[in-house]
A and B are shown apart, each in its own frame.
Chain A
Amino acid sequence: MMDSTSLIAQEREQLEVAVADAISLATQLGADQAEVAVSRQTGIAVNTRMTEVENIEFNHDGALGISVYVKGRKGNSSTSDVSPKSIEQAVKAAIEIAKHTSVDEYAGLADPALLERQPQDLDLFHPASLEPDDGLAIAKACEEIALSQDQRIVNSDGASYTSHLGIKVYGNSHDYVQSYLSSRHSLSCMLIGQEQDDMQRDYSYTMARNPADLLSPEAVAKDAVERTVKRLGARKIDTCSCPVLFSSDAAVSLFGHLVNAISGGSLYRKSSFLLDSLGQQVFPQGFSISERPHVLGGLASTPYDSEGVKTQDLEVIADGVLNSYLLTSYSARKLGMTTTGHAGGIHNWFVKTGDDDFTQMLKNLGTGLYVTELMGQGVNAVSGDYSRGAAGFWVENGEILYPVHEITIASNLKDMFKGIVAVGSDVDLRTSLRTGSVLIDNMKIAGN
């Protein structure tokens, strides 16, 4: 019997052949250009609840997607089954679709000169045991520690361990087929605390390419306990305006809204509050965001984007100025620009941090709201109007006084970005968009 690594290596070879075959079939059937992407994932997801086994899932997922271009018309298709017969059906379906779409002068493959033909190894593949018992032992250990720390932890939503190995193959009719392997492992734990009638839940997690980089079950358990019990006794506060400190994990979403606003698709659709902002001061001076796609073992590291375009280091925001949009070949052509290698999304982002640790950031906040959780989708991408549910803590003179919930925070993202006063050194190292806590000068809080 072969181990999972050699099975994966074998499957990778088969998929590379399948991709090349699909491209030549598409060309034979009349496509001027064709591109094919396959991703396959194999792994396990195991759950415990109240330290007993709850679920064991054996995952083996994947899909093959194909785009063909026939005289400027595009057709797409996909299949979950990658057998030669299904792939042939999918190619024919895409060609059929392309008979009915319109000529789009901007459609087509990436410029061949931009393709990454010699990708470097980014150290993304670290297989771990896929035996359920090994994963269950980790999840169970985490939950046992979590349930033994504090009497107010009365229930658990469970602990979960996942381990997945992935294959990504991309090819196009510029005589291009590339592939790489990756892995992803995670442990998470969600707890329920109770004090009188108040019931609150919270969680913690760890995620990494290499299982050796995961935080220990104990660290995850203790963080989940601390986060949960701190929320007990939460109250609503009166409607007011005040400065707001976003915790390092809550702040990630702020820059997620930035990603959306400067992505090519939002820009050519004029659906962005940062239209025509290239070269403009969008953040305060001193604020910067760098993208580093080739971090070894990085969660969002990729040698090339989902069109095969080489990824490169990029200063997205430099000293507060928007330095680059995030473009695919298509959106770049629509805007009369060149792709930035962002088909499929962003790579590792690093928000420049200041010197102040979390305690000092609370002092910088002074009196105001410290936000640890956001709820809902209340962001208007076109206008930047921002209104989301929030939970966190009320802070006075740099000291946390009590937990708060059932409130909203509102402003406009343009004002929020310009109103960033400081970024803390308390970076959340678990995410691929890395930032410290973020202090914003003023927002409207709605409560009582």
Chain B
Amino acid sequence: MSFEAVSEHLLAPTELSIDKLDSVLASMYQHKLDYADLYFQASRHESWVLEDGIVKEGSFNIEKGVGVRAISGEKTGFAYSDQLSLAALQQAAKAARGIAKQGQSGTVSLLKPSSAPLMYPALDPLECLQKEQKINLLKTVDAFARSLDPAVTQVIVSMSAVYEEVLVAASDGTLATDIRPLVRFNCSVLAERGERRERGSSGGGGRHSMEYFTSSPEGEQQAFTYAREAVRQALVNLEAIDAPAGAMPVVLGAGWPGVLLHEAVGHGLEGDFNRKGSSAFSGRIGEKVASEHCTIVDDATLMDRRGSLTIDDEGTAGQNTMLIEKGILKGYMQDKLNARLMNTASTGNGRRESYAHLPMPRMTNTYMLAGEYEHDELIASVKQGIYAPNFGGGQVDITSGKFVFSASEAYLIEDGKITAPIKGATLIGNGPEAMQKVSMVANNLSLDLGVGVCGKDGQSVPVGVGQPSLKLDELTIGGTQ
């Protein structure tokens, strides 16, 4: 059903049809290529921002185009156009195939529509709520956040929805389409007390309807829980004392702190870096790269999650890939190019920001499986250290393995008890070494709320992370005391 709808929408307004795509791919194979693909994309994006109690900004964005890629050995030629027409497509195809010399090599497989199990509903989230309902939701969340504490002096509430259709046609016979809804809600507040001001922020989303934000899975409308959480974080940070500096035991909370795995492990296990030998994990499959408590997967097959994929941007079905099992490195995340050059199969991790960007191996939802301890046992085991339940962003140097991530909410642990909140600080470590120091993993696996954005080579894609609470025996905390 989705296939007909998407090919109708993307191709029908132009003079294009599936057999024309066949002929464009065949024309590219007049040069010595190993692979070629066409990626059609059309998206609509709507967003609303409330600030100072008024709906200040609203925007509507339309993007569409086609990307054409030709691969010969390790070489890639790439061109794209924002015109969906046969002439523009042929021109891009001619430019891309120039990567290889003329001369027939393989043949193009006949395009055959394939389908994969849907990981999210084929709905248009822009149409889920009336504009009046969206505006009303922003206003009620604003009033709710302000009502929670007199220290709250500013509230910014935003929501956005994207409806995207893609079609991939490739010389290996792949012909696949996907409808990708993506929604996001956020609440950010400023709290002031005396001389101090602090921000708190919380939000969530996923590949589902906007109605999720007005649903009440736990008694309170989802959008209100973000406001409550944003206010709570701002108030905690108003009380925060200076953070300590130096190496010490760290307990990371469940959920979003899984950004640890994304930085310390995830990027280093992307196929391109490992093919090129530039990752700290290169050539280490079968080796112990983490403690035996660590089992880590990249899983595109979780229903409705922000990082999930029915198909990746090369038309490969989304998969659940074992990366590290009980500390042993099991596999890398692959796209078609790197899989072919490493003699393995794509793991459905070929992703691109848009038709105007080249696909690369990228993460989907990366998380650690649950362990056996109770969360409280982890805290109780630390004499002097840090408990960090919330994080901002992170970064990694995949070659040296050094990674950082910044705590946005953290506390001292003293004699097995959580005590004073501390100011945000950066935590730094070395991926393979830090993962060996994971000594306890709790039984409370949870995934983040659906806010992750991953950047690589200037391309942004939505991702998910998750983990149970875990304890690292030692990590360096970048405080001032």
- Residue in contact with A102 in the complex, picked from B54, B424, B429, CB distance below 8 Å: B54
- Are A387 and B426 in touch, CB under 8 angstroms? yes
CB neighbours of A157 from chain B (8 A): 276, 278
- Are B154 and A269 in touch, CB under 8 angstroms? yes
Nearest chain-A residue to B196 (Cβ)?
A383
Assembled-state Cα–Cα distance A2/B387 (Å): 64
Binary per-residue interface labels of chain A (21-45) against chain B in the complex, 1 for a CB within 8 Å, 0 otherwise: 0000000000000000000000000
Assembled-state Cα–Cα distance A333/B399 (Å): 48
- Residue in contact with A406 in the complex, picked from B77, B196, B429, CB distance below 8 Å: B429
- Residue in contact with B63 in the complex, picked from A58, A80, A378, A380, CB distance below 8 Å: A80
- Residue in contact with A408 in the complex, picked from B56, B92, B245, B481, CB distance below 8 Å: B245
CB neighbours of A155 from chain B (8 A): 276-278
A89 within 8 Å of B (CB atoms) = yes
Assembled-state Cα–Cα distance A271/B197 (Å): 8
Assembled-state Cα–Cα distance A407/B429 (Å): 8
Number of interface residues of A (CB under 8 A): 76
| Residue from A90, A378, A407 whose CB has the most chain B CB atoms within 10 Å | A378
- Residue in contact with B75 in the complex, picked from A52, A83, A86, A94, CB distance below 8 Å: A52
- Are B243 and A387 in touch, CB under 8 angstroms? yes
| Residue from B61, B83, B356 whose CB has the most chain A CB atoms within 10 Å | B61
Assembled-state Cα–Cα distance A234/B74 (Å): 33
Assembled-state Cα–Cα distance A412/B277 (Å): 39
A382 within 8 Å of B (CB atoms) = yes
Nearest chain-B residue to A228 (Cβ)?
B399
- Are A380 and B424 in touch, CB under 8 angstroms? yes
- Residue in contact with B280 in the complex, picked from A77, A199, A378, CB distance below 8 Å: A199
- Are B56 and A102 in touch, CB under 8 angstroms? yes
CB neighbours of B285 from chain A (8 A): none
- Residue in contact with A60 in the complex, picked from B62, B64, B81, B428, CB distance below 8 Å: B81
B70 to chain A minimum Cβ distance, whole angstroms, is 9
- Are B478 and A101 in touch, CB under 8 angstroms? no
Within 8 A of B (CB), among A142-191: 155, 157
CB neighbours of B430 from chain A (8 A): 406
- Are A81 and B62 in touch, CB under 8 angstroms? yes
A294 within 8 Å of B (CB atoms) = no
Nearest chain-B residue to A408 (Cβ)?
B478
CB neighbours of A271 from chain B (8 A): 190, 197, 199
Within 8 A of A (CB), among B116-159: 131-132, 135, 153-154, 156
- Are B277 and A376 in touch, CB under 8 angstroms? no
- Are B198 and A378 in touch, CB under 8 angstroms? no
Contact A201 B400, CB 8 Å, known A80-B64, A447-B246: yes
CB neighbours of B80 from chain A (8 A): 58, 60
B106 within 8 Å of A (CB atoms) = no
Nearest chain-A residue to B43 (Cβ)?
A80
CB neighbours of B192 from chain A (8 A): 270
A295 within 8 Å of B (CB atoms) = no
CB neighbours of A117 from chain B (8 A): none
- Are B78 and A378 in touch, CB under 8 angstroms? no
B308 to chain A minimum Cβ distance, whole angstroms, is 25
B214 within 8 Å of A (CB atoms) = no
A135 to chain B minimum Cβ distance, whole angstroms, is 13
CB neighbours of A49 from chain B (8 A): 74, 276
- Are B62 and A57 in touch, CB under 8 angstroms? no
B172 within 8 Å of A (CB atoms) = no
B4 within 8 Å of A (CB atoms) = no
CB neighbours of B61 from chain A (8 A): 77-79
- Are A389 and B402 in touch, CB under 8 angstroms? yes
Assembled-state Cα–Cα distance A150/B93 (Å): 40
A132 within 8 Å of B (CB atoms) = yes
Assembled-state Cα–Cα distance A444/B397 (Å): 23
B98 within 8 Å of A (CB atoms) = yes
Assembled-state Cα–Cα distance A53/B48 (Å): 44
Assembled-state Cα–Cα distance A89/B429 (Å): 50
- Are B199 and A239 in touch, CB under 8 angstroms? no
A399 within 8 Å of B (CB atoms) = no
CB neighbours of A380 from chain B (8 A): 423-424
CB neighbours of A192 from chain B (8 A): 277-278, 399
CB neighbours of B481 from chain A (8 A): 444
Q: Is the interface of A mostly helix, strand, loop or mixed?
A: strand
- Are A80 and B397 in touch, CB under 8 angstroms? no
CB neighbours of A376 from chain B (8 A): 393-395, 404-406, 426, 428
B19 within 8 Å of A (CB atoms) = no
Assembled-state Cα–Cα distance A389/B425 (Å): 10
CB neighbours of A86 from chain B (8 A): 62
- Are B199 and A382 in touch, CB under 8 angstroms? yes
Assembled-state Cα–Cα distance A444/B476 (Å): 13
- Residue in contact with A101 in the complex, picked from B58, B246, B392, B429, CB distance below 8 Å: B58
Assembled-state Cα–Cα distance A271/B199 (Å): 8
A342 within 8 Å of B (CB atoms) = no
B183 to chain A minimum Cβ distance, whole angstroms, is 18
CB neighbours of B75 from chain A (8 A): 52-56
Nearest chain-A residue to B71 (Cβ)?
A55
Nearest chain-B residue to A105 (Cβ)?
B54
- Are B83 and A407 in touch, CB under 8 angstroms? no
- Are A58 and B78 in touch, CB under 8 angstroms? yes
CB neighbours of B429 from chain A (8 A): 406
Binary per-residue interface labels of chain A (73-109) against chain B in the complex, 1 for a CB within 8 Å, 0 otherwise: 0111111110100100110011011111111100100
Assembled-state Cα–Cα distance A270/B154 (Å): 9
Assembled-state Cα–Cα distance A412/B197 (Å): 15
B168 within 8 Å of A (CB atoms) = no
Assembled-state Cα–Cα distance A60/B198 (Å): 42
A260 within 8 Å of B (CB atoms) = no
B80 to chain A minimum Cβ distance, whole angstroms, is 7
Assembled-state Cα–Cα distance A353/B381 (Å): 52
Nearest chain-A residue to B190 (Cβ)?
A270
Within 8 A of A (CB), among B191-234: 192, 196-199
A324 within 8 Å of B (CB atoms) = no
Provide 24 A-B residue pairs closer than 8 Å at the C-beta atoms, listed in order of the A residue.
A54-B76, A55-B76, A63-B63, A80-B62, A80-B82, A89-B62, A96-B60, A100-B131, A155-B276, A192-B278, A192-B399, A201-B399, A269-B51, A270-B153, A271-B197, A377-B393, A378-B424, A385-B424, A387-B479, A407-B476, A410-B245, A410-B478, A446-B479, A448-B476
A residues contacting B by CB (< 8 A) are 49, 52-63, 74-81, 83, 86, 89-90, 93-94, 96-104, 107, 132, 155, 157, 192, 198-201, 234, 236, 239, 269-271, 375-378, 380, 382-383, 385, 387-389, 391, 405-412, 444-448
- Listed from nearest, the 9 A-B pairs whose CB atoms lie closest are A408-B478, A102-B54, A376-B404, A389-B404, A378-B426, A76-B59, A446-B245, A201-B399, A97-B58
Given A270-B190, A375-B426: 16 more A-B contacts, CB < 8 Å: A55-B76, A57-B78, A57-B79, A59-B356, A80-B65, A99-B131, A100-B58, A101-B48, A103-B54, A198-B400, A234-B400, A239-B247, A378-B392, A378-B425, A405-B402, A410-B479
